[in-house]
């Protein structure tokens, strides 16, 4: 298939971040939330450079010349990325300085610049510097006995230009000051000193103002903040590793010092200074990002939490408890009455927490098995599993140690679980365990009954309030048997068994999806109605894309709701005229994976942990499960698909050239799927109902 039928992955990721940036630009969005979206862009770009750009640089270093499906070589992709990323960062800081910060100042939330500090502010800040900052600073003058120091990944540093000689007669002209990572990057001044409701000062401003105190008797000619981003992808040799946890612990210490991929400096940094830094890090000017403000906007995330201004934030909400559970506190009895569908964050994650908690306390429960990809550092779920193990239950936990940027947290939980007597395994070597599954085995009336939870999202209580996901609580025999077999694969040895309902990676998911797409294709060719709707985070797999193009040519109507990168081009004449691609970027991070096939009115509907990417199909353990209950199937469609297809508040539609245009409201009526679900699901639940546990 021609390269022009595909979109480059890296450029698609940058396009997604432009849509996130548009949220910061949208004046309909509450002001403090706009600041958060600016921070999210910075956080996303950090990971983009740490992983995607780092990978491109490695390919270039290895002289890889093979093109990706879109026809671009690593060199060509890198050149395009540099242009797009520089433009995005420039726009990001323009929005911050020209629109967001002035709007915050108008609301009496002021970032006080050091050139505008009054006498009382200068006095308070000077006292703060000597009390909190100076005792833990270590300035390093560069000379033969003090070589350029190792810079931690994404740490805040300052390069200082000096004149004169120190007490030992040294005059290198350059020193490095590393900002302590333990200190906040934004400091709030007392109300009476600030002269406004919220007076905030950057740590970098405080250090700039008093840097001369670190170099007694010398003249500071300039002080410039900088930050280096490094390759943060961990690599462990599966063939030579006998203890994955031990190997990873060793690798984690090196993550902070991976190969350099990006240098950020303040825009007032002169060429001789940033060229010196580029030389130290082995980077080119294409890797240099000069910014008008903080070199790490992620640190501004804390500001909205400080500011008690509900009128400048999204309205608060309380996730609802489904009636099936609010009416029956015994979770197992509620599940025996029928499958229970949970739609987060509109509905509470507490039933999942309660499921494991009750299992840990119930004397009839004999065993609990659960997978963990990402979870919080204070996870109640993990504590319940630890307690269950201490009570003598058979607890088996599949912890994915290679969950990017959560490796250390997962290693810590694995150790605590083992100390409590739980069986901890790390899945299958070479395949990340990404499936979200929990199974409880309970003795009931001389038989063992299994109860299962399956989900599209992680067992993470905090992100369950920020990400949209579906979860299913069921004791249906066929699904429970499948989940039992999946756990057997993960913890033991043997060939993959034939499953009743679930599609799984790396064995059947890819081929079953291709088969389902081709089935709709044949239905369309016979002249009958054919329709595919799929919602996911990313669509990159070339085989799936080819199958969708073939289905479109045959007349299948295809609606794709892809939050992030989508390599498929819709609307190409004679190829994808029947395909529509939209992306939703709003208050919550869209995270559900839903696959719908009309199938001659059967309307097959699946939920999954997997995106349509090669890695999810062939390098991960993933679960894709059907929604069997007709009422719940209707709910998934009416909550997870239909509202998003008509969204005009947060929807972006992809054009044939790969660019996205914001959807226009019809007849001036703006419809937000996320707001609609907050209202609808909230109305389903009586407001006086108390959650099972918080």
pLDDT of residue 86 exceeding 50: yes
pLDDT of residue 237 exceeding 60: no
For residue 689, what pLDDT is reported?
32
Higher pLDDT, 668 or 124: 124
547 and 406 assigned to the same domain: no
For residue 144, what pLDDT is reported?
60
Average pLDDT, stretch 554-569? 98
Condensed to tens digits (0 to 9), the pLDDT of residues 406-424 reads: 677 788 888 999 999 999 9
For residue 20, what pLDDT is reported?
97
Average pLDDT, stretch 354-381? 95
Alpha-carbon span 414 to 55, nearest angstrom: 29
For residue 235, what pLDDT is reported?
53
397 and 339 assigned to the same domain: yes
For residue 683, what pLDDT is reported?
42
Average pLDDT, stretch 282-311? 94
Residue 399 lies in a domain: yes
60: domain CATH number is: 3.30.1840.10
Alpha-carbon span 612 to 597, nearest angstrom: 15
Average pLDDT, stretch 51-72? 95
Per-residue tokens: 619? 């390098």
483 and 508 assigned to the same domain: no
527 and 650 assigned to the same domain: yes
Residue 668 lies in a domain: no
481 and 541 assigned to the same domain: no
- Taking a C-beta distance cutoff of 8 angstroms, is the pair 461, 379 a contact? yes
For residue 145, what pLDDT is reported?
62
Question: First CA to last CA across the chain, in angstroms?
Answer: 52
For residue 240, what pLDDT is reported?
43
For residue 241, what pLDDT is reported?
43
Alpha-carbon span 42 to 295, nearest angstrom: 10
Instruction: Give whole-number Cα distances, 669 to 14, 370, 646, 648, 677, in Å.
Output: 30, 45, 11, 8, 17
Residue 318 lies in a domain: no
For residue 524, what pLDDT is reported?
98
For residue 249, what pLDDT is reported?
54
282 and 336 assigned to the same domain: no
267 and 361 assigned to the same domain: no
Higher pLDDT, 183 or 655: 655
End of a domain among 495, 515, 542?
A: 495
536 and 461 assigned to the same domain: no
With pLDDT > 90 as the criterion, what percentage of the chain qualifies?
A: 81
- Taking a C-beta distance cutoff of 8 angstroms, is the pair 395, 385 a contact? yes
End of a domain among 436, 462, 495?
A: 495
For residue 408, what pLDDT is reported?
76
Residue 678 lies in a domain: no
The boundaries of the domain holding residue 438 are 323-495
Per-residue tokens: 14? 């940058």
Kindly state the greatest CA–CA separation across the chain. 90
369 and 400 assigned to the same domain: yes
For residue 430, what pLDDT is reported?
82
Instruction: Give whole-number Cα distances, 195 to 185, 189, 200, 203, 302, in Å.
Output: 21, 9, 11, 19, 21
For residue 427, what pLDDT is reported?
76
Q: How confident is the model at residue 377 (pLDDT cuts 50, 70, 90)?
A: confident
Question: Which residue's entry shows tokens 């569908």?
Answer: 341
330 alpha-carbon distance from chain centroid: 34
Element (H, E) at 518: helix 509-525
Question: Which residue's entry shows tokens 């507490």?
Answer: 350
Q: How confident is the model at residue 694 (pLDDT cuts 50, 70, 90)?
A: very low
Per-residue tokens: 155? 């740490």
Per-residue tokens: 7? 């979109």
264 and 179 assigned to the same domain: yes
pLDDT of residue 251 exceeding 60: no
Query: Which residues are bridge partners to 140 per DSSP?
Result: 176
574 and 486 assigned to the same domain: no
Instruction: Give whole-number Cα distances, 45 to 58, 224, 507, 574, in Å.
Output: 18, 22, 33, 36
For residue 255, what pLDDT is reported?
53
- Taking a C-beta distance cutoff of 8 angstroms, is the pair 588, 579 a contact? no
Q: Which residues contact 237 (CB under 8 A, 6 or more apart)?
A: none
Q: Which residues contact 133 (CB under 8 A, 6 or more apart)?
A: 180, 183, 203, 206, 207, 210
pLDDT of residue 238 exceeding 60: no
434 catalytic residue (yes or no): yes
Q: How confident is the model at residue 669 (pLDDT cuts 50, 70, 90)?
A: confident
For residue 691, what pLDDT is reported?
32
The number of folded domains in the chain is: 3
Condensed to tens digits (0 to 9), the pLDDT of residues 433-489 reads: 999 999 999 999 889 999 999 999 999 999 999 999 999 999 999 999 999 999 999
- Taking a C-beta distance cutoff of 8 angstroms, is the pair 567, 17 a contact? no
Condensed to tens digits (0 to 9), the pLDDT of residues 196-226 reads: 999 999 999 999 999 999 998 889 999 999 9
Condensed to tens digits (0 to 9), the pLDDT of residues 90-138 reads: 999 999 999 999 999 999 999 999 999 999 999 999 999 999 999 999 8
209 and 238 assigned to the same domain: yes
pLDDT of residue 234 exceeding 70: no
Residue 676 lies in a domain: no
For residue 171, what pLDDT is reported?
66
Residue 679 lies in a domain: no
Residue 693 lies in a domain: no
**Burial class, 658, CB count within 10 angstroms (exposed 0-12 / middle 13-18 / buried 19+):** buried
Give the 3-state secondary structure of 649-665: CCEEEECCCCCEEECCC
Condensed to tens digits (0 to 9), the pLDDT of residues 168-188 reads: 566 668 999 999 888 888 999
465: domain CATH number is: 3.30.870.10
For residue 245, what pLDDT is reported?
54
Among residues 434, 510, 591, 676, the one annotated as catalytic is 434
Q: How many CB atoms lie within 10 A of CB 156?
A: 25
With pLDDT > 70 as the criterion, what percentage of the chain qualifies?
A: 93
Instruction: Give whole-number Cα distances, 76 to 61, 66, 146, in Å.
Output: 14, 11, 39
344 alpha-carbon distance from chain centroid: 16
Higher pLDDT, 688 or 350: 350
Residue 682 lies in a domain: no
The pTM is what? 0.92
Higher pLDDT, 666 or 528: 528
Tell me the pLDDT of the chain averaged across its residues.
91
């Amino acid at each position: 298939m021609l390269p022009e039928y595909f979109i480059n992955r890296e450029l698609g990721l940058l396009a997604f971040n432009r849509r996130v940036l548009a949220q910061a630009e949208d004046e309909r969005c509450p002001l403090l939330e706009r600041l958060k979206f600016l921070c999210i862009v910075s956080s996303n770009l950090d990971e983009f450079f740490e992983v995607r750009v780092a990978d491109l640089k490695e390919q270039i270093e290895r002289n890889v010349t093979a093109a990706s499906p879109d026809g671009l070589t690593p060199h060509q992709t890198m050149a395009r990325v540099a242009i797009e990323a520089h433009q995005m960062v420039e726009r990001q800081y323009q929005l911050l300085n020209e629109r967001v910060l002035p709007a915050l100042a108008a609301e009496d939330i002021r970032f006080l610049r050091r050139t505008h500090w009054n006498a009382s502010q200068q006095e308070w800040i000077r006292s703060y510097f000597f009390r909190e900052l100076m005792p833990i600073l270590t300035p390093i003058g560069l000379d033969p006995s003090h070589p350029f120091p190792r810079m931690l990944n994404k740490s805040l540093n300052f390069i200082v230009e000096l004149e004169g000689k120190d007490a030992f007669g040294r005059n290198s002209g350059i020193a490095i000051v590393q900002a302590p990572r333990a200190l906040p990057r934004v400091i709030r001044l007392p109300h009476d000193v600030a002269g406004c409701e919220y007076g905030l000062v950057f740590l970098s401003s405080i250090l700039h103002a008093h840097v001369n105190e670190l170099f007694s008797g010398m003249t500071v000619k300039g002080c410039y903040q900088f930050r280096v981003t490094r390759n943060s992808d961990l690599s462990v040799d599966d063939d030579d590793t006998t203890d994955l946890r031990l190997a990873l612990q060793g690798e984690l210490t090196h993550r902070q010092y991976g190969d350099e991929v990006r240098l950020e400096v303040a825009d007032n940094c002169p060429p001789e200074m940033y060229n010196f830094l580029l030389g130290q890090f082995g980077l080119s000017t294409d890797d240099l990002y000069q910014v008008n403000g903080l070199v790490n906007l992620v640190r501004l995330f804390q500001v909205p939490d400080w500011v008690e201004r509900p009128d400048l934030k999204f309205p608060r909400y309380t996730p609802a408890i489904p009636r099936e559970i609010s009416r029956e506190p015994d979770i197992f009895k509620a599940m025996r009455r029928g499958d229970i569908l949970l739609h987060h964050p509109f509905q509470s994650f507490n039933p999942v927490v309660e499921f494991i908690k009750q299992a840990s306390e119930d004397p009839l429960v004999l065993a609990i098995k659960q997978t963990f990809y990402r979870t919080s550092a204070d996870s109640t779920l993990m504590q319940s599993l630890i307690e269950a193990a201490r009570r003598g239950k058979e607890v088996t936990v599949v912890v994915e140690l290679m969950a990017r940027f959560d490796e250390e947290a997962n290693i810590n939980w694995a150790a605590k679980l083992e100390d409590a007597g739980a069986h901890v395994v790390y899945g299958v070597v070479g395949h990340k365990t990404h499936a979200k599954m929990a199974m409880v085995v309970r003795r009931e009336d001389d038989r063992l009954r299994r109860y299962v939870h399956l989900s599209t999202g992680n067992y993470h209580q905090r992100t369950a309030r920020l990400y949209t996901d579906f979860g299913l609580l069921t004791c249906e025999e066929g699904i429970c048997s499948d989940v039992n077999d999946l756990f057997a694969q993960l913890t033991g040895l043997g060939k993959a068994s034939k499953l009743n309902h679930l599609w799984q990676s790396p064995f059947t998911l890819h081929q079953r999806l291709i088969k389902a797409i081709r089935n709709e294709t044949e239905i369309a060719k016979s002249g009958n109605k054919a329709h595919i709707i799929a919602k996911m985070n990313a669509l990159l797999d070339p085989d799936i894309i080819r199958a969708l193009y073939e289905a479109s040519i045959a007349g299948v109507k295809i609606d794709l709701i892809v939050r992030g990168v989508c390599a498929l081009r819709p609307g190409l004449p004679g190829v994808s005229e029947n395909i529509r691609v939209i992306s939703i970027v709003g208050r919550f991070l869209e995270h559900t994976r839903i696959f719908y096939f009309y199938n001659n009115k059967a309307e097959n509907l699946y939920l999954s942990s997997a995106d349509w990417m090669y890695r999810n199909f062939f390098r991960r353990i993933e679960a894709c499960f059907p929604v069997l209950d007709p009422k719940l199937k209707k709910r998934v469609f009416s909550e997870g698909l239909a509202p998003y297809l008509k969204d005009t508040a947060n929807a972006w539609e992809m054009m044939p050239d790969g660019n996205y245009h914001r959807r226009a409201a019809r007849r001036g009526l703006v419809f937000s799927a996320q707001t609609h679900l907050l209202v609808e699901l909230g109305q389903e639940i009586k407001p006086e109902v108390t959650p099972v546990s918080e």
